[in-house]
Amino acid sequence: MNLLLILLLIFNLIPPVSTSSGRADVWPGFRGAGDSHTAARELPLEWADDKNVAWDVALPGYGQSSPVVWRDKVFLTAVEGANKEKLLVFSMEYGLICDIPSENSRKGDILMKMKHAIFSTCCLALFSISAMAQTAEASSTTQPQKADPAAWNTLKSARETSQTLPTNFAGVTVDVVLNDNGKLAKGSINYEAGKSVEMKIEGLDDEAKGWLNDQTMSIIAHRRGGDFSKGDGRHPITFAEDDNSPAGRRIAINDQMKSHYRVRDNKVVEVDRTMGSDHFIINVLETTKTPEGKNLPRHFTVTYFDAKSGAVKRTETFTDEYKLIDGVWFPASRRMFRAENGKVITRVIEFHNPRIRFTNEQAAR
């Protein structure tokens, strides 16, 4: 069955969401809800290379659909030729997250992309839509929750202490060595800002390739920073009930993923989110401070729970090392220990000879 059709069927299994409440961050199809109206206000009326453009990306082939916008994600389809359909998933903040070909397009790639791109990206969107569908039946007269300025500013200040990539970072090509629990594989990775990762590496199975792709996006792409007010800051952030935890003060984002952060010593030390049947908590145990006074996460754990039962499904422990390359704090290595199903798996990524590219355009990202 065509992959795009499968995804459409999955969408059809989700209860329809009423748009009568006039959400400004939802554009469900051609002409929006069918009337070409939106609740969004103060929209830009002029565009140029350096005006009202957060990011841009070249689309493959030609488009076949009107964009679908759901909160911070944009979905498009495109065709590059016979049996070469693609679903493109974009982040409002970062640009292209992944592209998923149809089952007739490069069958060797589809298995890998089905395993990691759909799970790590499209499922996130589907889970968010499902959660919104459950709440969309509430009366449109319900008053929206208001943000607590103190909580909002506390999280914003903590996020601003993180070391991010410079705004003119355009991408990187880097040699990579992966030790997959004793099995070595070498190759190269190319990342263009706002696009997906391209890997040239032999000797890895699809699961390992998917994991390497996800880790590269995590350690590089997720450090691009961005406007806080357009990310977590767009939600009605409040303080959660104070549990006096030594881990730090808990802050509720009040989004569809039940996201919470903990802040201690003006640093984000915990991230807590629920995505469908999965609930995960990231605990930052150690950071590296750069000469600029910014923080890089060096040692952290990720614990995955069953969202319903609360049972621990697996744990992952990471250690990251960095080097200063052309003024950029670039990852030198990432070590991961995963405990799951009575076994511990160790993986180590080494990044060598990074060729970092820059652009003179200081685009807002």
Return the amino acid letter for 37: H
Mean of the pLDDT values across residues 125-131? 46
Pick from 44, 8, 55: nearest CA to 29: 8
Mean pLDDT of 18-38: 61
The pLDDT tens digits of the residues spanning 336-346 come to 999 999 999 99
Closest CA to 294 of 318, 326, 325, 329: 329
Q: Within this chain, do residues 236 and 329 fall inside the same structural domain, yes or no? A: yes
Helix, strand or coil, per DSSP, at residue 203: coil
Residue 207 predicted with pLDDT over 50: yes
> 231 and 104, same structural domain?
no
Single-letter residue type at 224: R
- Taking each continuous run of H as one helix and of E as one strand, the counts in the chain are 5, 18
Confidence band of 63 (pLDDT split at 50, 70, 90): low
Q: Which domain holds residue 63?
A: 3-135
| Residue 145 forms part of a structural domain | no
Task: Identify the CA nearest to 179 among candidates 351, 353, 349.
Answer: 349
Q: Which residue has the tokens 């590296």?
A: 288
Q: Which residues of 53-74 are buried (b: 16+ CB within 10 A; e: fewer)?
A: eebeeeeeeeeeeeebbbbbbb
Same domain, 162 and 131: no
pLDDT band at 6 (very low <50, low <70, confident <90, very high): very low
| Same structural domain, 109 and 197 | no
Does some domain include residue 93? yes
Q: How many domains would you assign to the chain?
A: 2
- The answer to whether position 140 is within a domain reads no
- Whether residues 237 and 96 share a domain: the answer is no
State the Cα–Cα distance between residues 129 and 135, nearest whole angstrom. Answer: 10
* pLDDT at residue 103 greater than cutoff 60: no
The pTM of this model reads: 0.64
CB proximity list for 359: less than 8 A, separation 6 or greater: 168, 170
One-letter amino acid of 87: L
In-domain check, residue 365: no
Q: Say whether both 250 and 312 belong to one domain.
A: yes
* Res 73 pLDDT > 90: no
Q: How far apart are CA 339 and CA 128, in angstroms?
A: 28
pLDDT tens-digit series, residues 36-61: 667 666 677 777 766 777 667 767 76
Average of pLDDT values for 167-178? 94
| Last-in-domain residue among 110, 135, 160 | 135
Kindly report, residue by residue over 134-152, the tens digit of the pLDDT.
Answer: 444 444 445 567 899 999 9
Task: Give, as one character, the DSSP assignment of residue 2.
Answer: -
pLDDT band of 177, cuts 50, 70, 90: very high
